[in-house]
Structures are given as C-alpha cells and as structure tokens.
Amino acid sequence: MLGAFANAFRTPDLRRKLLFVLFVIVLFRLGSQIPAPGVNVANVETCLNDIKDNSVYNLINLFSGGALLQLTIFALGIMPYITASIILQLLVVVIPRLEALKNEGQAGQQKITQYTRYLTLALALLQATGIVALARSKQLLQGCSADLLYNNDSIQVFLVMVVTMTAGTAVIMWLGELITDRGIGNGMSILIFTQVVATFPGALWGVKESKGWATFAIVMAIGLVIVAGVIFIEQAQRRIPVQYAKRMVGRKMFGGSSTYIPLKVNQAGIIPVIFASSLLYLPAMAVQFNQGKTNQAKWVGWLNDYLVGGDHPLYMALYFGLIIFFTYFYVSITFNPAEVADNMKKYGGFIPGIRAGKPTEDYLAYVLSRITLPGALYLGLISLIPLIAFAVLHASQKFPFGGTSILIMVGVALDTVKQIESQLQQRNYEGFLR
C-alpha cells in the first residue's frame, strides 16, 4: 500500500489532483475555525465548556465538524446541500417535469444541479436565521453561564451573521464542486468526510478522559471490528448476470457479451439514517422550545422522558424501525425494476432463465426486496451502536465507532481509494486493493 501511495504522488497529474484536494481541505477546515462577525468568542468557549452535550444539534454539528456550536463562518457546514439533494431526489419521483429533466441526460442533470444550488441557498438562509435567532434568545446553548454570544445585540449584527453563514454555505458548495472537477472523488462527499473525521479524535479522547485507558482500549478494539464489518457489508453485492444477444447493424455484428447488474446490500447508503435522525430530532426541538415555561403540557414531559436523550428503549426501537422503513422507501424510489427491465429488453439483454419484459421486472423486484432486508438491518444495528454505548458506558452520545460517522468515513474512504486505484491501473501501476 505504501508503494501505491508513492506511485500516486510520483505521477505528475495525479499528484497535482491530490495536492489540490488537500489544499481545499485545509481552506475548508480554516473557515470552520474563523468566527462569524460579531461573535463573542470568549463567551462561546465558556458555553461549550459548561454544556456536556446538545442532542438537538448533534447531526448538524457532526456535518459541520463542530463549527455549528462555535458560530463560525462555515457553521452550517454541508448540511443544507445534503438536505437539498435529498429533497430534489424525492421530488424527481413526484414531479413529472423534474423526471423529464432527469431522462434528458447530461443537460437535464445540469438543470437539476442548478435547482439543488438554489434550494441549498434557501435552506442555508433559513437555517442561519434560526441558529442566530436561537443564539440571540440564549436557547442555542442551554445551561450556558455566559450572558451574550454577540458583541453587540443589534439587528445589524444579526443580519451580518445570517448573511455570512449563508455565504459560507455557498463557498462550501463551490469548494465541493472544485474538488469534483479538478481533484479526485466526489467533492461534497470528501468535505463531509473531512468534517466527520475532524470530530473523531475529540470523541475518542473524550472516552479516554471520562472512562480511562481500559475502556478506551476496549472501544478501540470494538471499533476495529465494526470498521471491518462495515467494509465487508459496503463491498457486498448481488450480481445478477445479463446476457446480450447478437444483432446485425449494417455489416457489423454487435452484442453477444455478458455482464451483470450489481445490487449492493446497502443500496440506500446513509440516507435512511439521516432521514430517521432528522425525524427524531423534532421531539427534542419541541421540548427545547417549551423549556422554561411555567405551565408545561404533559406531552412535553412525556417527550422529554421517552424520546429525548436516546437512551430509552422506546427511542431505540422507534429509531430502528424508522431506519428500516426509510431504507425500503429510498431503495424503491432510486431503483426502478420496470425501467431496468425495459432498457434491457430495448438493447436485447436478458437474464439467463428469465424471460424479458414483465418476468424480468418481477425477478428484479423480488431480488431487490430480499437483499434490502439485510441492508436495512445492518444500517439499524450500526446506528444503534452509539445509543447502546451511551446507555451502557455512559461515555458520550458522540460514540465514535458507530452511527452516521462510521458509515460516512468508511463509505467515502472506499470510494476515493477505488478512484485513485483506477487511475493508477490506467498508468500500469498496482493499486491499493490487491
């Protein structure tokens, strides 16, 4: 593997791409540490030391590399873009106009990408307004002993912070597209990977500080097993063989080749986990907005007892069930057996032993439904690891080896390594995966 790294940096164009990606990552992390104009840095640090955890913003804070609660210029991170991308993917299935754009090929995809950018800026403006308003009302960091997170509590400072955070999201989106065009791998995925990895050492050190070296060693050992299991499942796929019949076009013979349709066990990726986490943050936000009131409703207390914190069995069961539901839902809208069967029939392809047309569609739907179940169970179990660790070890809800963080790190790392390997093999070098 070290030889593969040396070969990658020995090749001029590949070295240029890798150094460009590293340069953008440095800029990205630098922007995540620069406070927004008007932020009282000393008071923010005091608040972060006072509070142990803020479960309402864990997901957004994860995707911002901890920049959200520090109120930096990149405080929103990549989360608005992720949300916009998911919304557009769902709308493509619902709105015929967007579905027609998707079927137009590259030109239609560029139009959908443009819509995603506009929606990202709109969501960033909305989220920035909400975050700054919560900071102004002292509800962002509850349990904070500092008086004010701003240097000047005026409407001008409020607007400047909102505009700065929104512009920061636009810059992040631009940096991600630069990596995709001039670097290696998917730019947005690499930026997400960077922000998640940025919080990883702190989470590990927090386990050591709270529970000691023995628990830290156990966590590391369990983590290596989890990483190996995640790599195994992420690489697993069911290959459905496809045979193309020979056909004569003019004087040339085409077809007669054999290929396969790769159906991954984890066909949905981490999208179901994000859906389920976002949905279960709604009760926590409702409880937070109702805290401090003299006459709290009974439902607020019930939500606080059962659906906030993540250590109650009802919360875990609901979280697990939502992940399974969203896995089946997302796979059903991203993989269309009827469309695949129709394309195969159009180009003379068939699955050996299965007739073309409706039988092929039924067979693909059958295989997909069976392979989605282990993928959904896998996502649910991996996502429950931090919650179980918090309930058993009482170490931290930001347990490093589990949940969204480990899925992102392993998935993006595997995808980037495969792209580097493919470019190495094009230049007659051995890759990373031998």
331-357 residue pLDDT tens: 888 888 888 888 888 877 888 888 888
C-alpha neighbours within 13 Å on the C-beta side of residue 352: 10
Same domain, yes or no: 99 and 219 = no
Q: Is residue 192 part of a domain?
A: no
Q: Is residue 363 part of a domain?
A: yes
Same domain, yes or no: 115 and 212 = no
Q: What is the pLDDT of residue 358?
A: 87
pLDDT digit string, tens, across residues 71-113: 788 888 888 888 888 888 888 878 888 888 887 878 888 888 8
Closest CA to 405 of 124, 198, 127, 187: 198
Same domain, yes or no: 268 and 416 = yes
Q: Is residue 121 part of a domain?
A: yes
Q: For the residues 406-430, what does the mean pLDDT come to? A: 78
Q: Is residue 416 part of a domain?
A: yes
Same domain, yes or no: 322 and 220 = yes
pLDDT-derived band at 24 (thresholds 50, 70, 90) equals very high
Same domain, yes or no: 316 and 221 = yes
pLDDT digit string, tens, across residues 140-180: 666 565 556 666 777 888 888 899 999 999 999 999 999 98
Q: What is the DSSP letter of 72?
A: B
Domain count, the chain: 2
Same domain, yes or no: 211 and 79 = no
Q: Phi and psi of 238, rounded to 5°?
A: -100, 120
Q: Is residue 6 part of a domain?
A: no
CATH number at residue 281: 1.10.3370.10
Residue range(s) defining the domain that contains residue 359: 198-434
Q: Phi and psi of 249, rounded to 5°?
A: -120, 105
Q: What is the pLDDT of residue 397?
A: 47
Highest mean pLDDT among 13-27, 55-69, 252-266: 13-27
Q: For the residues 57-75, what does the mean pLDDT come to? A: 69
Domain boundary among 145, 160, 183: 183
In the chain, what percentage of residues exceed pLDDT 70?
A: 78
Alpha carbon dihedral 275, 278, 283, 289, in 10-degree steps, equals -160
pLDDT-derived band at 188 (thresholds 50, 70, 90) equals confident
Closest CA to 398 of 407, 387, 411, 409: 387
pLDDT-derived band at 120 (thresholds 50, 70, 90) equals very high
DSSP line for 298-317: HHHHHHHHHSSSS-SHHHHH
Q: Which two tokens stand for residue 396?
A: 């931290």
Q: Is residue 308 part of a domain?
A: yes
Phi/psi class of residue 335: alpha, beta or left (left: φ > 0; alpha: ψ in -120 to 50)?
A: beta
Q: What is the pLDDT of residue 276?
A: 82
Same domain, yes or no: 314 and 387 = yes
Residue 346 has a CB neighbour count (10 Å cut-off) of 9
Q: Is residue 103 part of a domain?
A: yes
Q: Is 197 exposed, middle or buried (0-12, 13-18, 19+ CB in 10 A)?
A: middle
Helices and strands (H and E) in the chain: how many: 15, 5
Same domain, yes or no: 280 and 422 = yes
Same domain, yes or no: 209 and 300 = yes
pLDDT digit string, tens, across residues 204-217: 777 777 777 887 78
Domain boundary among 137, 155, 183: 183
Q: What is the DSSP letter of 35?
A: B
Whether pLDDT at 289 is above 70? no
Same domain, yes or no: 160 and 226 = no
- In this structure, which amino acid lies at residue 271? I
Beta strand pairing status for 247-249 and 237-244? unpaired
Lowest mean pLDDT among 254-258, 316-320, 353-357: 254-258
Beta strand pairing status for 237-244 and 349-350? antiparallel
Q: What is the pLDDT of residue 297?
A: 67
User: What gap in Å lies between CA 413 and CA 276, rounded to an integer?
Assistant: 24
Q: For the residues 17-46, what does the mean pLDDT come to? A: 84
Residue 131 vs residues 140, 221, 318: alpha-carbon distances, Å: 7, 38, 27
Q: What is the pLDDT of residue 167?
A: 93
Q: What is the pLDDT of residue 412?
A: 83
* Residue 152 parent element (H or E): none
User: What gap in Å lies between CA 351 and CA 341, rounded to an integer?
Assistant: 10
Q: For residue 263, what are the β-bridge partners?
A: 238
Same domain, yes or no: 167 and 272 = no
Q: For the residues 194-221, what does the mean pLDDT come to? A: 78
Domain boundary among 152, 183, 214: 183
Q: Is residue 14 part of a domain?
A: no
In the chain, what percentage of residues exceed pLDDT 90?
A: 10
Contacts of 19 (CB under 8 A, 6+ apart): none
Whether pLDDT at 224 is above 50? yes
Residue pair 74/32 in contact by the 8 Å Cβ criterion:
yes
User: What gap in Å lies between CA 216 and CA 227, rounded to an integer?
Assistant: 16
Contacts of 177 (CB under 8 A, 6+ apart): 187
Lowest mean pLDDT among 29-43, 268-282, 346-360, 381-395: 381-395
Same domain, yes or no: 85 and 164 = yes
Whether pLDDT at 63 is above 70? no
Closest CA to 35 of 204, 183, 182, 150: 150
Contacts of 281 (CB under 8 A, 6+ apart): 55, 56, 59
